[in-house]
Amino acid sequence: MAATSTLGPDDAPPIRHSPRPYAYVFIMLAVVTVLEVYVAGLPFVKTDQILLLLLMATAKASLVVLYYMHLRYERRALRWVALAPFFLAVAFAGVLIV
């Protein structure tokens, strides 16, 4: 009987990630946060202001999920499963506001 070896998830070689994208994402999160504070103080119609703030919050959440939770390096199907609820939440909020 021949011995077969199967590799488990703990047997995979570690993936090395450069710290550079994390710094760029951190800067983008800081910039979008400053924009959110700026938009909150503008004299927009409340519904437009809320939609814009929701869009920016969704973009920030997507960046956090993709890079800091490492979904960026997963298969495309897994990324969409994780990110679809964010986009649906923004769409539902837009429908409820209008």
Please tell me the pTM assigned to this model.
Answer: 0.64
pLDDT recorded at residue 33: 97
Distance CA 54, CA 90 (A): 6
pLDDT recorded at residue 74: 75
Q: Count other C-beta atoms under 10 Å from residue 67's C-beta.
A: 19
Could you tell me the sign of the dihedral formed by the alpha carbons of 15, 16, 17, 19, in that order? positive
Could you list the pLDDT tens digit for every one of the 98 residues in the chain? 555 556 555 555 666 667 788 899 999 999 999 999 999 999 989 988 988 998 899 889 888 888 887 777 777 777 777 778 877 877 887 788 76
